[in-house]
Structure formats: C-alpha cells, structure tokens
Structure 1
C-alpha cells in the first residue's frame, strides 16, 4: 500500500518545481518568436529601433533560457526519484517522446543559440537571422513534443496494456496525435505569446509613463497591443474548442471545474461559488440559468454530467480546479478587453498618451503567467486521481519513498529555488527597469556565465510545458 502522505508531498514538490519551470519555457517560446519578428523587421526596414529592441530583449531571453535549463533538468530527475513507477509503466511511450524532443529541439537550439546571442558580427545579418529563426523554431518543436507527451497522459491513445500494467506503443501516430493534442498545443503556444505580449507591453508602458518620447518604448508597447488584440480573442476561441474536446474525453474534469454535482440538461453557468466535497454541493453559487449547457455543449438544453456520476475516490478536488479555471478565463477576457481598448485608442491617436491604459498594462505584466499557471493547475489537478487518465492512478505512480524523505527534499527545493531563481527574476526585472537606448549594445560574451554559471556552448532548451 503506497504511503499516501508521501504521494501528496511528491505531488506538491512536482507542482512547486513545475510552477517555477513552466513560466520560463513559456517566456522563451514567446520571446524567441518576438526576437525573430524584430530582427526580420530590422532587416526589411533597417530601422535602428528594431535592432535596439532585439538587443535589449535578447539579454532577457538568454537569462530566462539559462534558468529554464536548470529547472528543466530538475523536473526530469523527479521522474526517476519521486515517480519511478510512472516512468517504469509509461516509459515505452513517454520516454521516446522526451527523446525526440531532445533530438529535434535541444540539439537544434543548442547548435544555434550561441550564434543568435553572440554571432551577428561574425556571420552577418542574414545568417544571424536564420539562426534566430531556427532557435524560435526549436522552441516550438520542444513545445510540440512535450505537449504531445502530456496530452497522451490526458487522452491516451495508440497503446496496448500488458497484464502487469505496462504501456506499450501500438500506433505511434495515434499516440503522438492523440485526441486532445491538436487543441492543447495551440492553446499553450498562444498562452506563451500572451505572456510575452503583456510582459513586453508592461515594460514599454512603464518607460512611456516616464518618457513618452522614447521611440523604442513606443514601438514595443505598440507591438504588444497588436498581439493582445489578435491573440487574446483567438485564445478564447481555441479555449472553447479545447473545452468541448475535454467534455467529450474527460467529463469528470469538466464537472469539477464547473462545480456541477448533478447530471442534467439546461444546466446553469456557475459564475462563483464554493464546491463542497463533503456535502457534494456548490455553496453560495451565483448562477445564470441554461448558460452552462450553452457554453459547454453549444446547445441550450445540452446534457452535462455531474460529479456524482463518479465515485468519491475518482473525483478531482473541485475547489482548486473550479477557482483556477475562473482565474484563467477571467484574465483571458480581461486581456482581450485591453487589446480592444488599445485598438480603439490607437484609432484615436491616443495609444501612447492615455495614462489609465499605460498603468493598466503595467499592472497586467504578470497576467499571462498567472493565467498560464492557473490553466496548468486545471489541467493537472483536474486529471486526478490519475497520471494516465482513467488507466494509471497517481498513488500507483509514485516511488516507494517515505514521507520524511520527500518532505526533506521539498524543503531543500523551496530554499534553493527561492534563492537561485528569486535572484534571477530580480536581476531580470532590474534589466527591464532600464529603458532601451539608441544603439543598444548586444549581450556580453560572458552573460550566461555571470548570470547562471553556464557556458554559452553548454546551453540547452528547457522542457517546455513539462
């Protein structure tokens, strides 16, 4: 019988390290594409502002990249330390996907990252731009494989199950392109773009409040508002499609995040409330009649299953999923509203001179990251009590380690992470507190060594979305 306290602590440890890790690859995925666009615009227009912004943000990219490497390695080790049973049973499927990610993304990025950071004067602008494009492509390939592996855990397909409970590949195409993959990959990539858009926009707004004439700050703020206008509404549509897919393949997760206990038709949309696992009710619920079925099934009288359709031991912890989902959706609509507001003010030639918009953008700097973390909380907590949905329970995936051992390593992680990554985030914010200057210098050759203790030739990309 597994030590349930040890399993819980192992889950907390994985959630803690994931929380630090996931914001870093999300930032690098979005920022790599942003850098590619900036350099492409500079090559096309020869406008010095684009090159200044490229050099300004590539320093932030190198720092977040290096921190992501460290946090990604820690995440990988935990599969062997705390989750060895999971690794043993799912290794024939999840292991090759992780390996493909290393072969197709890690090596690609590691080979061209040094050129991107330090090689413009050596290889010339065109080849340097190609290196930047390859690094950006590598981050997307990394997201492809990691999201494929994680999506397989959500909606397993293309496998056979041996009598002793081991998963073996039967159809690699079905396993890689499993039922939720095509919804979760764009959802994650768009989330990464929104993280960067609102962080870059906040930095631009911060400097515009102090120097409205700074050309680079105006450009980065303008580009961020265009991205918010375009990406946020698309993300809402993709999220809706993802929700329909989840309702079909993981109805228990939908019931938990919606706070519905009874199966019914024409169910209301619960705006706020407090799911109570003991009484099997959602207390203090504020509801809109029929809207739940309309949103979830696109039918006014569509059927939605309630949590009571599953045994208590097979239910996700609804309060966490319920509120994490509302935080994610609320921030998503707020980001879309800010993008539309920016467009209206742009048409009125007031984009850079409206204080409330600039201050709101500064306040929204972490919005993308908070929404991202909330979304992953919905995804991972909503899948419980399984690691492979419906097939492998979490308690049967953990290593046979005593609770005291897991608690000791968890405490060590908390202390080390707060010191190391706390210092890294402070350093990044200090860099962003300085406005981009005309003739912005590129990153110094020893930047990675000074900030993360990693030589440029040794850098590899973190596991995006792990």
Structure 2
C-alpha cells in the first residue's frame, strides 16, 4: 500500500518531468512551422534574408528537438515504475494511442529530420523544402495523438470496463479519439505553441535591436524581418487564442463543472454570479478569503448570459474537489499573460502603422520581457488542466490513489532527488547553449550547419569570430 506522502511525491515527480518536457515539444511544433514558412518564402521570393533566418533557427531547432526527445523518454519509464496500476488499467486504450504517435509522427520526423538538418546542399531545394514540411507536419501529428490520449483521460468516451480486471477496453475508437474535449484542446495547444515561439523569436529580435541601438547602429535586415514576422503572429494569433480559450472553457463547464468552480473560487452555485478577480480559496473553511468581485461578470464570462448559473464546489463531495488554490492562481496567471500577449500584438500593429516598428524602444523592451510569456502561460494552462482533473487520472472513473504503484516513500525521495539533480544539470546546460546561440545575431549569408566539420565546430567554440569572418558558399 502506497502512503499518502509517497503518492504526493510520485505525483510531484511526474509533474516535474512533464513540466520540463512539455516546453520542448511546444517549441518544436512552433519552430518547425516557422522554418517551413521561412524556407517556402525563400523559394518563392529568392530573398536571401529568409534563408539566413532559416539557417539561424534550424540550429536552435536541432537542440530543442533533441532535448524534447530526451525529456520524453523518462515519462515512459515512470508509467512502469510509479504508475503501473494506471498503465495496466488504461493501457488497452492509451497504449494504443501512444503507439500510433510513435508509428506515425515519430517515424515521420525521424525519417526526414536528417534531410532537413544536413541536406540543404545535398538534395534539391524542393526536396529539402518537402522534408522541412514533413517534419513540421510530424510535430503536429505527434501533438494530435498526445492530446487525444490526454483528452480521453479528461472526458472518457468509447470504452467498456472489464468487470473482472477493471481494465478500460476500447469499444469505439472514433469516440475515444474524438472525445468531447479533444478538438478544443488541440486548437488551444497548437496556437499556444505558435504564440510561444513567436514571442521567443520576437524577444530575440528585440534584444538585438536594443543592442544595435546602444551601439548607434541600425538593425540588420534579418533582425527586422524576424521581428516583423513575430509581431504579425502575435497580432493575429493572440486574439484567436483568447476566443479558443473561451470555447474551451464552455466545454469544460459542460463536462467538468467542478474544475470550473475550483478555477473561479466559487463555493455556492448561483445565477448572476460575480467574477472573482482575486482571492485565496480556503479548502477547509469552504470560503474564498480576501475576495475582490466584479458583479455579474462571472455568469457573463462562463455562460455568456447575465442570468447564467455558475457551479459551486459545495455541489460536489469533498473527496471529488480539486485543490482550488493551485488552479485558481495558475488560471489567472495564464489569462493575464494571454491578455498581455494580445496587447503586445496590438501595440506592434499601432507602431507598424506609425512607421515605428523598428525604432520604438518601449515596444522592443516589452517584446524582450514577454519572450518567455508564451511558455509560462502554457505551463500554467497545463497545471490548470491537470491539477483541475484531480482526484482522478481517468475523470470520474479511476482515482489517482488507485493508479499509483505500491512504492515506498524512501525510494520515491531518492529518485526524486536524482531527477532534480540530473534535470537541473542537463537541461540547465541545454538552456545555456540555447541562450548563447540566440545571443549571436543572424548575419548575411548565414553559415549552413550541414557543411560544418568537427574541426569547424571546435574552432567555432574556441574562436567564434573566425567562423563569422570566413567566406560562405552554397547560398
């Protein structure tokens, strides 16, 4: 029998590893699409700046993709070591969905990734562009299967339960895959990936424009183009993401009303409900302390009607309520960052209209500050979704305490400590490498990484200026 402390530590360990992992696939999804757009525009227009940006960002993509693969491998082992009961009961459904992800997306990415990374001057331009597009499509397919799996855990459909073993058996695969929450999660996650990368690209360009300004120089064509494309993405996608989030919220209200009640800090079910802008939900007293309310806004936002009824946590048994304080604040951080991203996009549109897109220090500083905003919002959204599902692994059917392996607290503490040390060292080093790569601005005739030899790599690490000064070829 697993103790409550061991269960909590097992949950924290999985949250820790997933929290690291989720950033890298999102980065890969958005960046692969950005690379496909860059190469397509270069082939269509012949403008060398697009090719320079492609070669600049593909080096970043290679590091991010590798880190995503490494971080994802750990979770498959955790299913066997810490969550074996969950794997045994839900395996007939989730195991199949995850194997589809490997057979379609992962094999597709692996088959064309080498051509994309190292084939620029070894295959034809159209074939290389095809490889880039296939890798981008592969990341989207991977996201689709993963979200189908996670969405089934949130809104399970198309299954039967074996009365002898308690295992979930597939009954209707279309109902399993296209479960009620799947379309909303797919759209929301896809746009979150694009937005996150857009703000990283925009923040990188803003950094280089501010640095050029300090040195009395004009930003290069590549930097201006990078910033312009990023701000267009923010301007268009951020408002769409807010609309997608609203639709996702309506879906959650229908199928997981207790999650909505916990997100909003509402204890009593009521019509014409206010919106809690701030407060501290207290699970013991069943009251939200220090509440700041906006009259009628809760019903209007959640039901699109002033008279709409908003659920309260007291409508549900105590042992079926998620921890409201966690998701109350994670949800509000996500919303605040989403609004700030939309505001940044609108400000960039105004500056573009005024002809000050490339010369506004305020906009550039704001874009630099907002560079990690997409990933922070993504993590907060993930916390809201997954913690809000508690105390269930399969919502309403399989509790978390019934899913964990029979593990002891000392072994969990040792493995958790090892994970923290290894992850901080490995992924901390990877982050340092990425920051160093982004601190170097793209240049005209950006060097093709596929032409580097081991001697070139060593020389670049020891004397990076020699690589920048060396004549280019193959452009």
**2:85 is the alignment partner of 1:79:** no
Instruction: Give the secondary structure class of the aligned counterpart of 1:123.
Output: coil
Could you tell me which residue of structure 2 aligns to residue 182 of structure 1? 183
Structure 1 residue runs of 4+, over 4 Å off? 444-447
The equivalent position to 1:277 in structure 2, one of 274, 283, 286, is 283
Task: Report deviation, 1:6.
Answer: 1.0
Q: CA deviation at 1:442?
A: 1.9
Q: Which residue of 1 aligns with 2:363?
A: 357
**Deviation of 1:60 (Å):** 0.4
- Post-superposition offset of 1:231: 0.5
Distance (whole Å) between structure 2 residues aligned to residue 235 and residue 279 of structure 1: 36
1:213, CA displacement in angstroms?
2.7
Conserved in 2, the CA contact under 8 Å of 1:2 and 1:396?
no
What residue is the counterpart of 2:141 in the other structure? 141
The separation in 2 between residues aligned to 1:434 and 1:155, in whole angstroms, is 46
Deviation of 1:376 (Å): 0.1
Q: Is the 8 A contact 1:257 1:322 kept in 2?
A: yes
- How big is the alpha-carbon RMSD for the aligned residues of Structure 1 and Structure 2? 1.2
Shift of 1:210: 2.0
- C-alpha displacement at 1:441, in angstroms? 0.9
8 Å CA contact retained: 1:30, 1:196: yes
* Matched residue, 2:447: 441
Tell me the alpha carbon deviations over residues 41-95 of structure 1, each in whole angstroms, 9 at most, x when there is no partner: 0000111100000000000000000011110000111111110000000000000
Q: Which has the higher contact order (CA 8 A, sep 6+)?
A: 1
Q: What TM-score, normalized by structure 1, do the two folds share?
A: 0.95
Distance 1:336 1:60 in 2: 26
Partner of 1:117: 117
| Cα distance in 2, alignment partners of residues 61 and 407 from structure 1 | 34
Within-5 A mapping of 1:57-456: 57-163=57-163, 164-211=165-212, 212-444=218-450
Distance 2:39 2:429 in 1: 29
The SS at the match of 2:371 is coil
State whether residues 158 and 174 of structure 2, in contact with CA within 8 Å, keep that contact through their aligned partners in structure 1: yes
Measured after TM superposition, the shift of residue 401 of structure 1 is 0.7
- Cα separation, 2, equivalents of 1:390 and 1:349: 55
Secondary structure of 2:121's partner? helix
SS for the counterpart of 1:121 is coil
What is the number of residues matched between the two proteins? 449
d(CA) in 1 for partners of 2:427, 2:194: 22
Q: Distance between the aligned counterparts of 1:446 and 1:382, measured in 2?
A: 50
Encode CA deviations 1:130-155: one digit per residue, 9 max, x unaligned: 00000000000000000000000000
Q: Which sections of structure 2, spanning at least 5 residues, go unmatched?
A: 213-217, 459-475
Deviation sequence 1:177-227 (CA, Å, 0-9, x none) = 000001000100000001100000000010011223311110010000000
Mapped contact 1:9–1:406 kept (Cα < 8 A): yes
Provide, for residues 370-425 of structure 1, a one-character-per-residue CA deviation record: whole Å limited to 9, x for no partner: 00000000000000000000000000000111011111111000000000000001
Q: Which stretch shifts more, 69-78 or 436-445?
A: 436-445
What are the superposed Cα offsets for residues 276-313 of structure 1, whole Å, 9 maximum, x if unpaired?
11110111111111110110011101111100111111
Deviation at 1:2, TM superposition (A): 3.3
CA distance in 2, matches of 1:199, 1:76: 29
Is residue 155–residue 249 contact of structure 1 (8 Å, CA) maintained in 2? Answer: yes
The normalised TM-score by structure 2 is 0.93
| Separation (CA, whole Å) in 1 of partners of 2:209 and 2:124 | 33
Aligned to 1:455: none
- Deviation larger for 32-41 or 207-216: 207-216
Separation of aligned partners in 2, 1:215 and 1:33: 21
| Shift in Å, 1:229 | 0.4
- Counterpart Cα distance in 2 of 1:446 and 1:81: 42
CA distance in 1 between partners of 2:453 and 2:397 (Å): 48
Indicate conservation of the 8 Å contact 2:266/2:313, yes or no.
Answer: yes
Measure, in 1, the Cα distance between the counterparts of 2:310 and 2:397: 23
| Helix, strand or coil at the partner of 2:357 | coil
Partners of 2:208 and 2:219 within 8 A in 1: no
